[in-house]
Amino acid sequence: MENTTAIQAFIALGQESRLNIFRLLVQKGDTGLMPSQIHELLGIPNATLSFHLKELLQANLISVERQSRNLIYKPNALMVQELSQFLLDNCCGGKPCTLSSKQSIKKIN
């Protein structure tokens, strides 16, 4: 993954409403959600929600598909995996992480 791709994703997730939308979509997985459902669950006004969904789409963090008259938004699982791998590529000095390394990471959080 290129640094610029990761930066674009992190910038998109650096806004609270977009992060909440993304986390909600990740929870729903392949089922996805329609904008009306996201609005109901998070209370984000429709115009604002549309803007945030567009930003997440441009960062390739989510995808959208049309089912009949409805748009269904889903997390882009491949991008999530690539982003996670990008963050962990140099974890533990390039060696496989051990339980004690993972516990140290938890303590930092």
Q: How far is CA 28 from the centre of its chain?
A: 12
Which CATH number characterizes residue 7's domain? 1.10.10.10
Picking from 28, 105, 78, the residue whose alpha carbon sits closest to that of residue 86 is 78
- Cβ of 44: how many Cβ atoms within 10 Å? 20
Q: How many domains would you assign to the chain?
A: 1
As averages over each run of 10 residues, the pLDDT of the chain (109 residues) reads 92 96 95 96 95 97 95 95 86 68 53
Please, what is the Cα angle at 44 between 43 and 45, to 5 degrees? 110
Q: How many CB atoms lie within 10 A of CB 22?
A: 24
Residue 100 is predicted with a pLDDT of: 59
What's the domain range around 7? 3-108
Collapsed DSSP state (helix, strand, coil) of residue 97: coil
Find tokens 């910038």 and name the residue.
11
